Amino acid sequence: MIQVSHLTKFYGPRPAIQDLNFSVNRGEIVGFLGPNGAGKSTTMKILTGFMPASDGIAKIAGFDVFDQPTEVKRNVGFLPENPPVYTEMTVRDYLEFAATLHQVPRSELKRATDSAIERTGLGDVRNRLIGNLSKGYRQRVGLAQALVHLPKVLILDEPTVGLDPKQIIEIRELIKSLAGDHTVILSSHILPEVTATCQRIIVINRGRIVAEDTIDRLTTRMQKGLVYSMVVKNPMDDGIQALRQIDGVSHVSASGSKLTMELRPGSKEIRDQIVETAVTRRMGVLEFSAERLSLEDVFLELTTVEENSGRSSTEPNTALQ
CB atoms within 10 A of CB 106: 8
Q: Mask: binding to ligand ATP, 179-198, rule CB under 6 A, as x and -? A: ----------x---------
* CB-nearer residue toward Mg ion: 102 or 208: 208
Strand order in 63-64's β-sheet?
Answer: 14-24, 2-11, 55-60, 63-64
Tell me phi and psi for residue 286, to 5 degrees: -105, -35
Q: How far is CA 254 from the centre of its chain?
A: 37
For the bound state, the minimum distance from the C-beta of residue 116 to ligand ATP, rounded and expressed in Å, comes to: 26
* CB-nearer residue toward ligand ATP: 34 or 49: 34
Among 4, 7, 29, 42, binds ligand ATP (CB under 6 A): 42
Question: How many residues can be counted in the chain?
Answer: 321
Stretch that binds ligand ATP, among 40-48, 141-149, 208-216, 311-319 (CB under 6 A): 40-48
DSSP letter at 222 equals H
Q: Total residues at the site for ligand ATP (CB under 6 A)?
A: 12
Among 40, 73, 74, 172, binds ligand ATP (CB under 6 A): 40
Calculate Rg over the CA atoms of the chain. 25
| Beta carbons of 144 and 120 less than 8 angstroms apart | yes
For the bound state, the minimum distance from the C-beta of residue 158 to Mg ion, rounded and expressed in Å, comes to: 6
Among 34, 56, 151, 316, binds ligand ATP (CB under 6 A): 34
For the bound state, the minimum distance from the C-beta of residue 125 to ligand ATP, rounded and expressed in Å, comes to: 28
For the bound state, the minimum distance from the C-beta of residue 12 to Mg ion, rounded and expressed in Å, comes to: 18
Among 28, 32, 41, 137, binds Mg ion (CB under 5 A): 41
Using alpha carbons only, give the angle 193, 129, 95 rounded to the nearest 5 degrees.
65
* CA 178 – CA 187 distance, rounded (Å): 16
Sites of contact with ligand ATP (CB under 6 A): 11, 16, 34, 36-42, 81, 189
